Amino acid sequence: MGPTSIHETSSSSTGIDQWCARRGSRVAGSMSSPEISHSLITPPTIPVTPATTTPIINTSYGPAMFLTMALLMKGIPGKQWIGKYRRPRAITWQMKRNMVNQLEREAENEYWISRPYMTAEQEFCHAAERRAQSWLKIKESRFSKFPEHKYIADHLSHLNTTKTWSS
């Protein structure tokens, strides 16, 4: 009588041949030792871990690296110049030149700011008179644009139709 299951240890060659036939293996034949036949009868176990159950290509734009996504997706999703996954802008020699000029200008400004023209005591209230004069000029220019005063008697004078010279 043959084995009832493929996983049972058997010295008969029919179980090994059946298992090899199902597996599509070319190694089939009679094995004399039970240890060798058991290793051929028992199918190899594949450990199932969360890493093997997740898909290889990650389409959620999550933990995958930018280079991997750029190579797998063959394009930039959405607008190519804005967003998290935008196309990186090429750095030209003009951009480098402008950045160097800007940094030089900032360095010169920091140099001049670090050396004040006046001390803090000299600077305190040094322009109070000039500021008062400029405020008076602004105030006068505002009042010059203001229209003349109008009285209610001037607005309602057309209603005095019953008033005579004698009264």
33, part of any domain: yes
157, part of any domain: no
- Model pTM? 0.33
pLDDT digits (tens, 9 = 90+) for 82-94: 988 888 899 999 9
pLDDT of 41: 57
pLDDT digits (tens, 9 = 90+) for 43-96: 556 555 555 555 455 455 555 566 776 677 777 778 888 988 888 899 999 999
Is residue 165 over pLDDT 90? no
Closest listed residue to residue 15, CA positions, set 25, 27, 5: 5
Spatial distance between the Cα atoms of 20 and 115, rounded to a whole number of angstroms: 90
Query: Between these two residues, 132 and 144, which has the higher pLDDT value?
Result: 132
| Interval 133-146 mean pLDDT | 91
88, part of any domain: no
Proportion of the chain above pLDDT 70, given as a percent: 59
pLDDT digits (tens, 9 = 90+) for 3-35: 555 554 544 556 667 766 666 655 544 444 455
What mean pLDDT, rounded, does the chain reach? 75
143, part of any domain: no
pLDDT of 80: 87
121, part of any domain: no
164, part of any domain: no
User: Based on the structure, what is the number of domains in the chain?
Assistant: 1
Query: Between these two residues, 101 and 11, which has the higher pLDDT value?
Result: 101
Q: Is 31 exposed, middle or buried (0-12, 13-18, 19+ CB in 10 A)?
A: buried
Provide the 3-class DSSP secondary structure of residue 51. Answer: helix
The parent domain of residue 14 ranges over 1-44
144, part of any domain: no
19, part of any domain: yes
> Which CA distances in Å does 76 have to 66, 71, 84?
11, 10, 10
